[in-house]
Amino acid sequence: MTITIYHNPDCGTSRNTLAIIRQSGEEPQVIEYLKTPPSRERLVELIEAMAMTPRALLREKGTPYAELGLGDPKWSDDEILDFMLAHPILINRPIVVSPLGVVLARPSEAVLDILPNPDIGPFIKEDGEVVIDADSKRVV
């Protein structure tokens, strides 16, 4: 089964998501989207598959969101896509694609919903947050 993660290795959520995927027994195709951004067509496909709008996929923290005035509702979906393509850091991450669906894995454990083997055993995030405890029970 092919799983793809649009990944930023500098992002803790992205690193945790990648670790969950690997702990499930899958070795995903890793696309460092800041180095290799998706095409406009692919970005639109991902947004549609997640049933969200381009605006909903915008990342604010650590991006030029404020300086570009992207909080202003005047920007159309096409214009927001243009900004994302010009500044890939504006694309929220990680996005994970599997044959079972596409998710913006925020929080990282959201990826469990589209993994073929979501029973990954105990998992603790980098920051110490328990996602799945020693009894393999998902902690909410």
Catalytic residues: 11
| Residue 1 predicted with pLDDT over 70 | no
**CA separation for the pair 28, 2 (Å, rounded):** 7
CA distance 59 to 55: 9
Q: Which helix (H) or strand (E) element contains residue 17?
A: helix 12-23
- Confidence class of residue 137 from pLDDT cuts 50, 70 and 90? confident
pLDDT higher than threshold 90 for residue 58: yes
pLDDT at 98 over 70: yes
Tokens of 71: 């909080």
Band the pLDDT of 67: cuts 50, 70, 90: very high
Copy the structure tokens of residue 77. 């979906």
Q: Cα dist. 134→25, 51, 54, 59 in Å?
A: 18, 34, 38, 33
Find the length of the chain.
140
Amino acid in the structure at residue 81: L
Looking up tokens 């195709």 gives: 29
CA distance 89 to 83: 10
Beta strands in the chain, from DSSP E residues, in sequence order: 4-7, 29-32, 95-98, 101-104, 123-124, 130-132
Class of domain 4-132 (CATH, top level): alpha beta
